[in-house]
Structure 1
Amino acid sequence: MNDAAHINVTLVQQGVWDMPKESMPLASGYLKSMVMEDVELRQSVTVEICNFRGGVTHGEMARSLFSRTLPDILAFSVLGWNVRAFGSLAETFKQLKPDGWVVFGGTHVSGQADRVFRLYPEVDVIVNGEGEITFRELVRARVRGVRLTDLAEIVGISWRAADGSTVTNVDRPRIENLEIIPSPFLSGAIDLVDEKGEFRYDVALIETNRGCPYKCAFCYWGGAVGQRVRAFSRERLRAELELFAKLRVHTIVACDANFGMLPGDLELVEDLIEIKNRYGFPCAFEGSWAKNKSKVFYEIVRRMKEAGLRSSFTLALQSLNPDALDSMNRRNMKVNEWRDLVEWLNQEGLDCYAELIWGAPGETVDSFIEGYNDLSQYVSRIAVYPIMLLPNTAYAENKASHGIVAVRGDHDDFEYVLSHRSMSFEDNARVQRFLFWARVIAENAVLRHCWLPLRLLAGWQQSRLLDSLADWVDTTSCSLAATLREAVARAHGGGAPAYAKAIGYLFSDPGRQALDLWWREVVSPQLDPAHRPFLDEVFRFDLLTQPVLPPPGTTGEGDAHSDIPPLRVIDGHEYYVRENVLLSYDVPALLAALRCDIPVSLSPTPTRINLWYRVGALNAVISTNHEEIVHFMGEFRTAGSLSGTPASPDR
């Protein structure tokens, strides 16, 4: 051992989206806090986190990382969207510092040593499973002067022996007591504020627990599937939430598999509400809600509604087809149970969205579209995802038994399913077009109010309206549709950026003009004249309540070239405000009545409202984060009142 050894460690993360604000580097924060709280290491190790946005190029990352003192350990948090970039950076690093250690960890490389070492020969070590203890052991080994070819004593890694062969040590048991991991927020491991002293990330990420009791064939969840759930302490979580509140963080996102399943989840919400009452923040709480809803879930929902703490409640069904569900190794709530749940949430005026996966073995075009339309009768915002084969999942390990044919992504390392025994290439291409419009228009709430009255009054299923728009974009000669056609063409290989381009365009004036033209040319002429004026006004209300996205260089405050509403500070929050908007019907009241099955009169009832829009929607749009986008939709109050909290149009 070299007693004088002092080493530098650089932890690298890169988000998937090129957003104005960063994604919080939670994984790196855990690793840094674990090293810096260690008595043996704190005096002999310097740890730096380099956190990059999705749009940063390989060259830009290389200049940032390597135009300074080179680290002794360069460690990457690897996911499917950044593995190629990190492999390239590892190659460059080894040119500059051949004796430096390159460590890969994360869900995309865990348990994949043979493939990763073959593709990226500059990688020295792969961390399998939870990384906090394992990474600390690797840093200790480097400080003590242990050679890269002598890592047999470190549990939970794969490495290369002296002859170049791959060695995988025994797995490390899951961390039973999560309290041994210092909080990356309370310890200061993660920089929380920017140079202006403002919270620097799009949302605050927290883990309240780890583990998932289910074993879905498409999911890995960090290797914790089929595992007992382990929780962080209430005291620690409360301290983290209070820190975020003091920093005026709007949205907290829980990185748990099944929030709302455990009694401790209710305790966290109780603490969150008490903190919100004291500080005015946070305003929203999001997470992956429990698949099956218990009494705890219903109590959480009730408490959050009473406190005005917003959220989007998830109905994670993934499929309504029994054959597909069998292949997924999952069972959903009984039909009457999830329908009752959604109806209850609707009547309470609470936002709910559902999740479906297209392309699971056993699913067909007809069963998927039928399930989509069935589900859309109860919840219009349906997040639909094409099936992907993730490393270490049952689907990935049993491709042949399902007859799966897949291809690696153009800009990532995920495997995208092209066909299997119940889905042909042609079937997949047909539904991929539908998925684009379902994700852009319905999932991301470009339209959200017109679905219900269109179905009840005109008999239009949600898929019919989406297909109508898709056909119009494909065939119209209108130049306003050109941007949308380009986004559709790029979506299959371009991923999130293509979706973000379409969403952002449709939230702009030209995009709204395109939607308006489609509606006037295609939809409105097919409506019953008795219902048409009201349905046209609901569609207009959809466009009016879209988020406000100022063009670059405009603020909305006195800009002669922008129709962006003026800014107002109300109850300590910044909003764009449109005052005295005239509606020919009291659309919010009529929509609320329709949701509750109350008969309505469609006689015109001119109504004036003020619309309030939270500032900062661009981050959510670029990231196609539908859970966040809904927090930027126009909220309303009766015209003449600009005090108090606005009401969501969903209420």
Structure 2
Amino acid sequence: MPSLKVVLVQQGVWDMPLESMPLAAGYLKAMILADPDLRDRVEVTICNFRGGVTHGEMADRLFADGVPDVLAFSVLGWNQRAFGALTATFKQLNPDGWSIFGGTHVTGQAGRVFRLHPEVDVVVNGEGELTFRELVRARLAGTSPRDLGEVAGTSWWRPDATVATNPDRPRIEDLDVIPSPFLTGAIDLVDAQGRFRYDVALIETNRGCPYKCSFCYWGGAVGQRVRAFSRARLRAELELFAKLGVHTVVACDANFGMMPIDLELVDDLIEIKRRYGFPLAFESSWAKNKSKVFYEIVRRMKQAGLRSSFTLALQSLDDTALTLMRRRNMKVNDWRELVEWLNREGLDCYAELIWGAPGETVDSFLRGYDELARHVSRIAVYPIMLLPNTEYADNMAAHGIVALRGDHDDFQYVLSHRTMSFAENARMQRFLFWARVIAENAVLRHVWLPLRELAGWEQSRVLNSLADWADTTGWAEAVPLREAAERGHGGGAPAYARAIGYLFTTSAGRRALELWWQEEVAPRLPDPVRPLLDEVYRYDLLTQPVCEPTDLPLVEVGGVEFFRRVDVRFDFDVPEVLARLRCGATVTPDPRPVVVDVYYRRGALNAVTSTNHEEIVHFMGESRPAGTPLRPVEDSSPQPA
């Protein structure tokens, strides 16, 4: 019988039907299971919570059937407060139990963590797998949590109530010493019905980031040499996911596509897809500097029908802001040629911008947004936050930064600095809300380019038009949007989710979009192109994801279920118009009727609920001429969605 009960706790940020995979906890459990001195003496359980679960619900699951000896939390900004509260309860139930905090949000922050949550016994600094195994060994050996001077990479309470921090543990050079949480069974991959239980499959192919961006702690503000897992191990993991019918694999890497070994992984992924039919999509944080390796990866993925949303992690187009970000000399800033190439190849991409970085102004940001939107309509815009162990957080005074902790999380939101006033930031929060809801999450996707090229409407004008209409209209359908926008200040993840869910899943949300177009946009369009743009907009709404319940019939294509809408008539050949505009060709507003069938991949609700814009695009409707079946992805030409 095991003599030590260990519980590992993770919680995702979103309250969605499917769980997020508990990868960090899986690594820790796999380390214990693989150790011959520990596996028979330690019972390890992973408790993986969705976002939105109350403290009481978590406490009931953690403690109702017995209190663990060791309670270890994977801490991020959105769950630190909840985990602090659970730790306080845990120590009431088991005063001799060990409470351990680890993760990027608490690494190097022990002084603050212990002030806020004095019941925490240990903070793990840096990579946690080897350190956690040592802590479990110490607990079994009867070591006091007040006497951990031999465990590198930890901070802990001394008996005199002062904080001790041990030397850092060297980074793990051979990552394969960490057993695979999938191949060892440390993470339960299927539910009671035998179906893959998570929204996407998460893997790490490497660790480390060579950059030192001022806002990001991925590189730890000092940069890290990149270390990789072995090709054989990764291939085995991917093959397991394929056998389970996993649609999307997400690599949790900082710069995938930077190294030649990344091309090897893609080759393995393509070969596995040919054998099993899955996975169908591969996402990652793509390399900032796009090398020959990246371009070759994109070509091979396209040829194999392996989908992705290729990221342009620009963050700003302003030279001053880029310099302060330490990104001025990155090749990523030479992005136009890359976008043109992706468009010619018919491949989807999106861009990332940060609002409120030091050096940025309202005018420079909006100029950059519209310049970027001329090439990439799906732009993810995030408000600047101060993350632990970053240059911005460590040097607030130097930048004139004023920040505020979130109401329900532990992030610091920037309110002002030398080039951004309180008032300017407050006004821009409205724009950020609508940009994130409508453009980033592809509520509208196709109409941006035709509106700009045929009517001269920049993307920011379209978004501000919708914001103004929602603020002033008397239509009841706009009230939920107005209320969500009012709650969206300072990040407002639940508010974004509420608005996106309303627009994608309710008839009232669809009606709100129709009313805005009819009242605010259509009357202001040039007469010659208005009928065509009306049809493009109808096509945009028609190809939004379909969330169940629905009366549309199901069909199976290549092992994937789709809803099918048949015989939809348009007065213009909208797919052809969109294809020509993307290639830079001219179009004429002459009617050319077309009838299409539209296919929608089943299972969109989880992506919509989590507002995962990288996943949402995989559920967009795909049109085909009426009567033309949708072919399996590996046999298809680039999709018109």
| Cα offset, 1:466, TM superposition | 0.3
| Cα offset, 1:571, TM superposition | 2.3
Residue 586 in structure 1 maps to residue 573 in structure 2: yes
Residue 412 in structure 1 maps to residue 409 in structure 2: yes
CA 1:20–1:222 in 2, change beyond 3 Å: closer, same or farther?
A: farther
Report how many residues are paired. 637
**Matching residue of 2:389:** 392
Alignment of 1:368-379 (within 5 A): 368-379=365-376
For residue 612 of structure 2, the aligned residue among 602, 625, 634 is: 625
| Cα offset, 1:490, TM superposition | 1.2
| Cα offset, 1:137, TM superposition | 0.3
Q: In structure 2, what residue type is equivalent to 1:616?
A: G
**Matching residue of 2:11:** 14
The 1-side partners of 2:146 and 2:303 are apart by: 59
Q: CA contact under 8 A between 1:382 and 1:443: conserved in structure 2?
A: yes
**Matching residue of 1:637:** 624
Q: In structure 1, what residue type is equivalent to 2:542?
A: L
**Matching residue of 2:267:** 270
Tell me the SS of whatever aligns to 1:327: helix
| Cα offset, 1:43, TM superposition | 1.5
**Matching residue of 1:522:** 520
Question: What is the TM-score of this pair, normalised by structure 2?
Answer: 0.98
Q: CA contact under 8 A between 2:314 and 2:333: conserved in structure 1?
A: no
Residue 355 in structure 1 maps to residue 352 in structure 2: yes
Question: What is the TM-score of this pair, normalised by structure 1?
Answer: 0.96
Q: CA contact under 8 A between 2:241 and 2:279: conserved in structure 1?
A: yes
Residue 483 in structure 1 maps to residue 470 in structure 2: no
**Matching residue of 2:153:** 156
CA RMSD of aligned residues (A): 1.4
The 2-side partners of 1:173 and 1:76 are apart by: 22
The 2-side partners of 1:407 and 1:335 are apart by: 31
Give unmatched runs, 5+ long, in structure 2: none
Q: Deviations over 1:534-558 (max 9, x none)?
A: 01110000000000122xxx3x3xx
**Matching residue of 1:540:** 538
**Matching residue of 2:564:** 577
The 1-side partners of 2:2 and 2:594 are apart by: 74
**Matching residue of 2:503:** 506
**Higher mean C-alpha deviation, range 216-225 or range 466-475:** 216-225
The 1-side partners of 2:333 and 2:115 are apart by: 50
Alignment of 1:81-100 (within 5 A): 81-100=78-97
**Matching residue of 2:128:** 131
For residue 197 of structure 1, the aligned residue among 194, 198, 201 is: 194
Q: CA contact under 8 A between 2:59 and 2:86: conserved in structure 1?
A: yes
Identity level (%):
71
**Matching residue of 1:33:** 30
| Cα offset, 1:333, TM superposition | 5.0
Tell me the SS of whatever aligns to 2:488: helix
Q: CA contact under 8 A between 1:212 and 1:225: conserved in structure 2?
A: no
The 1-side partners of 2:13 and 2:311 are apart by: 22
**Matching residue of 1:401:** 398
CA 1:503–1:647 in 2, change beyond 3 Å: closer, same or farther?
A: farther
The 2-side partners of 1:575 and 1:332 are apart by: 45
Residue 213 in structure 1 maps to residue 200 in structure 2: no
Residue 289 in structure 1 maps to residue 286 in structure 2: yes
Q: CA contact under 8 A between 2:352 and 2:381: conserved in structure 1?
A: yes
Q: CA contact under 8 A between 2:288 and 2:331: conserved in structure 1?
A: no
The 2-side partners of 1:317 and 1:633 are apart by: 25
Q: Deviations over 1:354-393 (max 9, x none)?
A: 0000001000000000000000001000000000000111
Q: In structure 1, what residue type is equivalent to 2:210?
A: P
**Matching residue of 1:497:** 494
Q: CA contact under 8 A between 1:588 and 1:649: conserved in structure 2?
A: no
Give unmatched runs, 5+ long, in structure 1: 557-563
Residue 239 in structure 1 maps to residue 236 in structure 2: yes
Tell me the SS of whatever aligns to 1:609: strand
The 2-side partners of 1:643 and 1:594 are apart by: 24
The 1-side partners of 2:613 and 2:329 are apart by: 23
Q: CA contact under 8 A between 1:635 and 1:648: conserved in structure 2?
A: no
Q: In structure 2, what residue type is equivalent to 1:315?
A: L
Tell me the SS of whatever aligns to 2:6: strand
Q: CA contact under 8 A between 1:350 and 1:650: conserved in structure 2?
A: no
Q: In structure 1, what residue type is equivalent to 2:94?
A: K
Q: In structure 2, what residue type is equivalent to 1:576?
A: F
Residue 601 in structure 1 maps to residue 598 in structure 2: no
Tell me the SS of whatever aligns to 1:32: helix
CA 1:46–1:334 in 2, change beyond 3 Å: closer, same or farther?
A: closer
